[in-house]
Amino acid sequence: MELTEHQKALFDDLTKLQQKFALGIVKGLSQIDAYKQAGGKAKKDETASACASEILTNPKVKAFIDEMNKEAISDAVMSRQEALERLSLMARASLHEMVEFSEAECGTDDNGNPIIQAGWRFKNSALQSAGALSAISELTAGKRGISIKLHDPKAAIKQLADLQGWEPPKESKLTITATKPLSELFEDDDA
């Protein structure tokens, strides 16, 4: 976890116990566990809880934790740009870019005709981008073999169009019920 300059300044204002406690809270530990991990001296859970609560109410500790949580929430939410990029990858995804199709002769039938077995396999997974693989919506194994289904590229393109504002404006109808004649509502100011 890389701290911003502001976060570093807030962190440096804390005591060692407060620093370790705050990092424990940010990592998702309970108050008591964060206090114990930080090296708090309380032996009983009730005392540890009281000490942890006291540390947590310290304005400097609270400011650091709030700043770290704000950053975590920001990282967790997909940005508009990320959404556009992900949808673009789904719209452009092609099964032929991810899968190799092949046929192999696996013997002959009773009449001596070759039996051809069709198959497919994923191309080298090290060469596959995570974005391309995210275009796969379903991968199932059944009695007819393995089935692969991609997200609908037309739906991805439609969502991109909506997000980018490519759609023409929708027709809107407006009905006005006036209680006064329009001539009274829009009188000429020159009169």
Q: Which of 27, 51, 76 is the last residue of a domain?
A: 76
51 and 20 within one domain: yes
Which pLDDT belongs to residue 135? 82
Is residue 173 a part of any domain in this protein? no
Is residue 85 a part of any domain in this protein? no
Note the pLDDT tens digit of each residue in 30-64: 999 999 999 999 989 899 999 999 999 999 999 99
110 and 69 within one domain: no
Note the pLDDT tens digit of each residue in 144-174: 777 888 888 888 888 888 878 787 777 778 7
14 and 56 within one domain: yes
How many Å apart are CA 94 and CA 100, to the nearest integer? 12
103 and 63 within one domain: no
108 and 48 within one domain: no
User: In the block, which residue shows the tokens 């000490």?
Assistant: 51
148 and 102 within one domain: yes
95 and 72 within one domain: no
Nearest to 28 by CA among 76, 64, 65: 65
**What angle separates helix 80-92 from helix 153-164, to the nearest 10 degrees?**
150
Q: Which domain holds residue 10?
A: 5-76
Which pLDDT belongs to residue 57? 93
115 and 53 within one domain: no
Nearest to 26 by CA among 53, 1, 6: 1
How many Å apart are CA 173 and CA 176, to the nearest integer? 10
Is residue 172 a part of any domain in this protein? no
26 and 66 within one domain: yes
The tally of domains found in the chain comes to 2
Q: Which of 76, 106, 130 is the last residue of a domain?
A: 76
Is residue 155 a part of any domain in this protein? yes
